[in-house]
Amino acid sequence: MNEIERHYRYQGDPLHEGEVPSDIRTEELTLNMGPQHPSTHGVLRVLLQTDGELVLKATPYVGYLHRCAEKMAEQVTYRQFTLYTDRLDYLAAMNNNLGFALAAEKLGAIEVPARAQYLRVIFAELNRIASHLVATGCYGLDMGAFTPFVYCFREREYVLDLFEAACGARLTYSYITIGGVREDLPEGWIGRCREFLDYLEPKITEYNNLLSYNHIFINRTARVGVCPPDLALAYGLTGPCLRGSGVPWDLRKAMPYCRYDEFDFEVPVGRGEQGTVGDSWDRYFVRLLEMIQSVRIIRQALDKLADGPVQAKVPRLVKLPAGEIYYEVENPRGQLGFHLVSEGGTSPYRLKIRGPSFCNLSILPAVARNCLLADIAALLGSLDIVMGEVDR
Amino acid sequence: MNSTEIIQLLQQQQGPALAAAVADGLHPHVVVPADRLMAVATVLRTDWRLRFDLLRCISAIDWPAKNTIELSYDLLATARGHSFAVKVLLDRANPRVESLRGIWPAAEWHEREAFDLMGVTFLHHPDLRRILLPEDWVGHPLRKDYQYPTEYQGLQLNP
């Protein structure tokens, strides 16, 4: 660190200073939450400065899972990097594959066949359901409700079975590749998928009865960790975290890709039903509502699915022309962006990845200030971060 | 607003501040000198026709041949539904630019990342330290001429 860098080190930021009334101040205690802690959802360390039960300051320390994805991208071919995208947000590998494939296709002006487009939508939405099921179940677990967790993972298992039947993998799919999808659906897959959708829909009501409208759960999450809409936008929150704050912004509606404009679906937003707009309960509930919308989209996409090729004619060694593109897709956790700079070779010159969890987590110091210690788990869980994507 | 209209508006307001503008293609953007970045960003954030309220990403790109480090700020206006990008070109030997944390708080972590992996110094950043790599790491790995370390805290590393 040189002289100038040292000069611009942290000097105290008015945003983070505590404003606890002086009569309830006690001795301050520094508390370490994580990196191994069940409610940090991976290897996240949060340094908490506490005064009794109040959190004066929360400082997240990330990077424990840093695997140099951006540096590796410069050394592997485009097709090889698809496998690395699986490992970013490992709960939504299909969506990551899709984002990278779309960025590369836009830069290389590659046309994707219609059947592949609909298959992409189906798999992306199925993965959204699987990812939201994990978020819902784990959030219940964070709040002390064990049963919903087991139920959610039971349903997720059906999605993983569908994925396994289509591409052989249960977590790291690499199914959506540049030019289309890797292979066509196996026999009877569409019927199984429809069966699952019919099975899942009534389960959402079951979760509502079991968890969403449970008094203990509401008391733990409503009016907790409130992100007002302007604050959420300022910190670059996207996905259910932004929509939980009442901002109706969804890339699938606003800047449609992959023929999302052909489908009829709604964008659920937080309405402060149990407390304030943008509280943890809103963020949690938006995910449940999104699952219903995903079911709607998949049904329509299955109807539109016509015979045809699933791969465009793309050479095995993809070469993209010189140029650059910044492309974003709507992941379960928010907008996943790829800034792809090509110099015309077989590997990217530079690939910058914008992980939605990275931005969603950056709001933590601003919201956790003056929160109760026990509410940190409620706030962190409702942000639904995946450290693989934060650290890349 | 489309990119051409955004560029026209910026040229009206910030005329000579724009070094270059690309209206079409896959990544429409303007290039501004580093000392004018704050002024242009303020217009982008506050002008009622632009209202870029969401900073999506700050990408740092190393160009050793041109001796520059390029920063690309990708912006989104959720109320207006348009997107745009601003670029600054910095001297590779001493890359430094004003922090935009005051305009978009989201910049705080993105700038820390650019500092960590590309070695860009952001002036008046409230908390400029490494974010992804350990604090005692040497060098900035995303530079094209980065030398892989052979040892870290007594561990032998094989490149």
Tokens of A96: 């990551």
- Selected residue with higher pLDDT from A109 and B11: A109
Tell me the C-alpha distance between A22 and B65, whole Å: 58
Give A84's contacts (C-beta < 8 A, 6+ positions apart).
A69, A72, A73, A76
Quick check: A380 and A41 in contact, CB under 8 A?
yes
Least confident of A2-16, A357-371, B123-137: A2-16
Give the pLDDT confidence of A160-184 residue by residue, as tens digits. Answer: 999 999 988 888 998 999 988 988 8
* DSSP secondary structure letters along A118-134: HHHHHHHHHHHHHHHHH
Tell me the C-alpha distance between A329 and A258, whole Å: 10
Give the pLDDT confidence of A39-93 residue by residue, as tens digits. Answer: 777 788 899 988 888 888 899 999 888 988 999 999 999 999 999 999 988 899 9
Of A12, A235, A236, the CB nearest to B56: A236
Q: How confident is the model at residue A22 (pLDDT cuts 50, 70, 90)?
A: low
Could you tell me if A70 lies within 8 Å of chain B, comparing CB atoms?
yes
Q: A69-352 belongs to which CATH class?
A: mainly alpha
Question: What's the burial of A1, exposed, middle or buried (CB within 10 Å: 0-12/13-18/19+)?
Answer: exposed
Question: What's the burial of A216, exposed, middle or buried (CB within 10 Å: 0-12/13-18/19+)?
Answer: exposed
Cβ count near B136 (within 10 Å): 8
Question: By percentage, how much of chain A surpasses pLDDT 90?
Answer: 46
CATH of segment(s) B3-156: 3.30.460.80
In the predicted model, is pLDDT for residue A222 greater than 50? yes
User: Can you name the residues that pair with B31 across neighbouring β-strands?
Assistant: B20, B87
In the predicted model, is pLDDT for residue A2 greater than 60? no
Identify residue A141 by its one-letter amino acid code: L
CA distance A191 to chain B (A): 38
Of B57, B105, B128, the CB nearest to A354: B57
Residue matched to tokens 């000392």: B35
In the predicted model, is pLDDT for residue A276 greater than 90? no
Q: Which residues of B touch A73 (CB under 8 A)?
A: none
Q: What is the pLDDT of residue B43?
A: 87
Look up the ipTM and state it: 0.90
Q: Do B108 and A362 touch (CB under 8 A)?
A: yes
Q: What is the pLDDT of residue A116?
A: 92
Domain spans, chain A: 69-352
Identify residue A25 by its one-letter amino acid code: R
Residue from B56, B96, B97 to probe the interface with A (highest A Cβ count within 10 Å)? B56
Q: Do B126 and A11 touch (CB under 8 A)?
A: yes
Give the pLDDT confidence of B18-62 residue by residue, as tens digits. Answer: 777 787 888 888 899 888 888 888 888 888 888 898 999 999 999
A residues 30-59 near B, CB within 8 Å?
A: none
Domain spans, chain B: 3-156
Residue of B nearest to A250 (CA): B78
Could you tell me if A391 lies within 8 Å of chain B, comparing CB atoms?
yes
Q: Do B134 and A63 touch (CB under 8 A)?
A: yes
The C-alpha angle with vertex B19 and arms to B18 and B22, in degrees rounded to 5, equals 85
Q: Do A62 and B127 touch (CB under 8 A)?
A: no
Q: Which residues of B touch A255 (CB under 8 A)?
A: 81, 83
Exposure b/e, B33-58, CB count within 10 A at least 16 = b:
ebebbbebbebbbeeeebbbbbbbbb
